[in-house]
Structure 1
Amino acid sequence: MIKNLAVIFSVALIYSTLIISCKQTNKTEPDKTNINKYIGEDKKTIYPIEVISYDSNGKPVTQVFEKAPSRIITTNLSAIETLLELGLGNKIIGTTKPDNEVDGKWKFAVNELEQIGDKMTTSKEIIVGKSPDIIIGSAKGLTDQYLGSLSSYNAMGIKVYTQSASIIQNNPKLTTIIDDVRILGLIFDVNVAAENYAMQLEQIYNGVIDKVSKKKTSNRLSLLPMVAFDSEKKSYSSFTVSEGLQLDILNTLNIKPGIEGASLNNNYENLIGINPDIILYIKADRHKKLDDVAIDFIKKDALLKHISAVDNNRIYTVTYDNFMDYGARNFATLLQLYESIYGK
């Protein structure tokens, strides 16, 4: 398990380095789909439509839809849950296995979907064999090495919509999740349902912004995202919150990253040196045994008692899917953190 975790974080670190290089040269606004151009007065989609999708390198690729797709393959939980919110569950013919045991509103609906395999091992041939007319999910896994590239699917007549919120090269904000909702509404001609759902998410987002503006001070607390704390080795790892959706969550809450980038196998000396005001412990099924004892151990360890987060009882927990995915769960985490830090 630990070996697998090391591999995962090593890949994440390499990926983050590549993204930084991309962001230094990509200073233009990302291409966006003109939704209003294709919606009639009756709120129905006027086909054909052109939708901007992105490949794994952040390159925009136009997808043309002559009609609403009817056979969907999804590659992550946030895509599934968004489609379910829009009433499109009956169109999902298969999905890759969720990273973690699913909880929440759509638990049973998600578990009833056919799983076509793990996202790290499922081949393009398996996906094509299901005869989808569209694939929806994160851009990260859509490479020839893993699930297959956007261009290779397009060459076979299969459309691909990659979530705008997953295009890290564009440094996405939380509002891109809402953009994805409206674009999916356009693609599948469920614009009214999409607009209603988008407005719900906007209400949460704008509500937190308004509340924080009334309570924030010039002293920004620092947050360390911690994962896989090992009480025996006294080590931990960390995801990056220096870009994308995670940074936007912090900025919205007037919080700053405790560290820049992601890191693997940090020690006590490192943690004490960072001295974060907040520890956000991210739980995942793959290291459940570590997670079960981590928080209690950190709170009781004599060497860590003077860390600001421990001393001020600011250790909060969140699941991987609620913090690192690309959907409504990110807004739930935003609200959870606001209430934990500022009060209800």
Structure 2
Amino acid sequence: MRPRVWCGVLGLLALSATACGSSGAPKADSPEASGSTAGFPVSVADCEGAKTTFDSAPRRIVTSNASALETLLWLGAGDRVAGTGFPPGKGTMPAALAERAAKVPVLGKTVIPKEKLLGSGADVYIDSFSSMKNMSGAGDAPTPREFAAAGIKHVFLRSSACAAAQKGPRTDLSGVTADIEELGKITGTSRRAAELVAGMRKKTEAVRDALKDVPPDKRPTYFYFDFDAGTKQPLAVCGKQVANAVITQAGARNVFGDCDGDFKPVGWEDVVAKNPDWIQLGVRNRGGEAANEKAFDEAAEFLRTFPATKGLTAVKENRFLRIGAERTTIGGVRSADTVRDIAHTIHPDRVK
């Protein structure tokens, strides 16, 4: 794939979701098992099934990016985060988490350099994408032996890091909720994780119930337009990307949901052939409402004036969704809010 496109994808996967509703305010840092072995040992598996065991909750955590950091903040484990790569951009964290997130040391503006990660004093590294095939050129990652020599346990967020290994498309948020529950086990915050997951399921189940009598083949078609990946060649989100789960649970049909993998470059002729009912303007957070709206306007204007797309049904009828890229393509606590927001837009009479 073109370097520019994967650079954009890497940045997108690295960022946290933009502000929206939440599953309850985050609690103060008070993990149930902090400083103790209550509830331990616990074991978690990587993408290939190899297990890592924890005899107690970690005291120094390093995260690969802002999305992993945000999940730990929601769990109330933020005080134990000793550093992160791909730090959250301005305006990308929920207001309730922003102040705490800003205090986390930045070990790398992008991928954390190998030497800095190994010398960070961390006892666990939460990795959102290091094992993904499309991230193989993202940096010189430590080997399992080097992690072990540094005393760092390596844990993957499987909903993103293991996407390529998943069998079939993702149609629900079970992988995301499993990650939250797993991080709760590791950090001794399982009760908080259960609360967050319950809140997410309440929202997605309400959407499911509202749409239960809409046959799958009658649900509107949907194209996620990754504006920031470039307009010369569109980048589609495929069946294994979390966005496919979000779109499907929201009661729509991703027009590229049948392509294998998570992202795939396609041609504008492919988009035209699909003629989607709805188009989401996938724009990265610009750090403020005015800047975000300007970017959404630019994405919509491109579709209205580009010869290949100006005749599409969604374009002619102004069926655009202005929902940030990070909110859709990065799994986390707020993914359920995105499901609800999309569902309300495309099924306003059913999802209030």
Instruction: Give the TM-score of the pair, scaled to structure 2.
Output: 0.75
Instruction: Give structure 1 stretches of 5+ with no counterpart.
Output: 13-38
Task: Report the alpha carbon displacement of residue 215 of structure 1 after superposing the two structures with TM.
Answer: 4.5
User: What is the match of residue 25 of structure 2?
Assistant: none
User: What is the match of residue 340 of structure 2?
Assistant: 335
Q: 2:317 aligns with which of 312, 318, 333?
A: 312
- Distance (Å, rounded) in 2 between the aligned partners of 1:281 and 1:224: 9
Contact 1:45 1:186 in 2 (8 A): no
Aligned-partner SS, 1:318: coil
Structure 2 counterpart of 1:276, one-letter code: P
Distance 1:175 1:329, change over 3 A: same
User: What is the match of residue 56 of structure 2?
Assistant: 67
Structure 1 counterpart of 2:39, one-letter code: I
The answer to which structure has the higher helix fraction is: 1
- Distance (Å, rounded) in 1 between the aligned partners of 2:216 and 2:54: 48
User: What is the match of residue 331 of structure 2?
Assistant: 326
Show CA shifts across 1:33-61 (max 9, x none). xxxxxx99xxx843222222x1xxx3122
- Distance (Å, rounded) in 2 between the aligned partners of 1:195 and 1:300: 47
Give percent identity, aligned residues only.
20
Structure 2 counterpart of 1:212, one-letter code: L
Contact 1:135 1:161 in 2 (8 A): yes
Show CA shifts across 1:281-310 (max 9, x none). 211269988655121342466764431212
Structure 2 counterpart of 1:241, one-letter code: C
Distance 1:11 1:253, change over 3 A: closer
Contact 1:229 1:237 in 2 (8 A): no
Matches for 1:92-241 after TM superposition, within 5 Å: 92-98=81-87, 100-101=89-90, 102-105=92-95, 106-120=97-111, 122-140=112-130, 145-150=139-144, 152-166=146-160, 167-168=162-163, 169-171=165-167, 173-216=172-215, 218-228=217-227, 235-241=232-238
Contact 2:314 2:320 in 1 (8 A): yes
Distance 1:4 1:329, change over 3 A: farther
Structure 2 counterpart of 1:314, one-letter code: R
Task: Report the alpha carbon displacement of residue 234 of structure 1 after superposing the two structures with TM.
Answer: 6.3
The answer to which structure has the higher strand fraction is: 1
Contact 2:221 2:253 in 1 (8 A): yes
Aligned-partner SS, 1:79: helix
Q: 2:39 aligns with which of 19, 39, 46?
A: 46
Alignment length (residue pairs): 305
Show CA shifts across 1:159-181 (max 9, x none). 12211212111255411221222
Structure 1 counterpart of 2:80, one-letter code: K
User: What is the match of residue 245 of structure 2?
Assistant: 248
Show CA shifts across 1:59-80 (max 9, x none). 1221111111000101122211
User: What is the match of residue 16 of structure 1?
Assistant: none
Aligned-partner SS, 1:202: helix
Instruction: Give the TM-score of the pair, scaled to structure 1.
Output: 0.76
Distance 1:119 1:276, change over 3 A: same
Aligned-partner SS, 1:73: strand
- Distance (Å, rounded) in 1 between the aligned partners of 2:176 and 2:324: 18
Instruction: Give structure 2 stretches of 5+ with no counterpart.
Output: 12-31
Which has the bigger relative contact order, CA under 8 A and spacing at least 6? 2
- Distance (Å, rounded) in 2 between the aligned partners of 1:190 and 1:7: 35
User: What is the match of residue 277 of structure 1?
Assistant: 277
- Distance (Å, rounded) in 2 between the aligned partners of 1:128 and 1:234: 39
